[in-house]
C-alpha cells in the first residue's frame, strides 16, 4: 500500500512536469517571470500562452480567457469585459 502511494505521487510529479515542457525563462504556459522577484506568476487576466504574450481573442476576456463579451470588439476589454461609456451632464445655475 505504501509503495503504491509513493508510485502514485511520483507519477503525478512526472505528469506535472511534462505539462511544462514548453517554457520561456523556465515558466510554464500561462505564466510569466516577474523580473522583480524572479518568480513565475500567473498571466494577468486577458492574456494567455507562453510568456503571457497573447491577448484573449474576441469575444473572450478575463482569467484564462474563460469569460465572453456580449458587446462589440471595440468595447470589449481583454481584462475586464464590456466597457460602457457614461456621460455626465453638468448643470449650472445662475446666482
Residue 64 to residue 47: CA distance in whole angstroms: 7
What is the model's pLDDT at position 23? 61
Helix or strand (DSSP H, E) at 82: strand 81-82
Domain residue limits, the chain: 21-95
pLDDT at 76 over 60: yes
Residue 2 has pLDDT above 70, yes or no: no
End-to-end CA distance of the chain: 88
User: In sequence order, what are the residues at sequence separation of 6 or more whose Cβ sits closer than 8 angstroms to the Cβ of residue 55?
Assistant: 46, 47, 48, 78
Question: What percent of the chain lies above the pLDDT cut of 70?
Answer: 62
Q: pTM for this structure?
A: 0.64
* Segment 46-69, tens digit of pLDDT: 999 999 999 999 999 999 999 999
C-alpha cell at 77: 476589454
Amino acid at each position: 500500500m505504501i509503495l503504491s502511494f509513493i508510485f502514485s505521487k511520483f507519477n503525478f510529479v512526472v505528469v506535472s512536469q511534462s505539462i511544462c515542457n514548453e517554457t520561456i525563462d523556465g515558466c510554464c504556459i500561462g505564466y510569466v517571470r516577474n523580473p522583480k522577484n524572479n518568480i513565475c506568476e500567473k498571466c494577468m487576466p486577458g492574456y494567455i500562452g507562453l510568456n503571457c504574450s497573447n491577448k484573449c481573442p474576441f469575444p473572450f476576456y478575463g482569467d484564462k480567457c474563460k469569460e465572453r463579451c456580449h458587446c462589440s470588439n471595440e468595447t470589449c476589454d481583454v481584462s475586464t469585459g464590456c466597457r460602457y461609456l457614461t456621460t455626465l451632464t453638468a448643470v449650472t445655475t445662475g446666482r
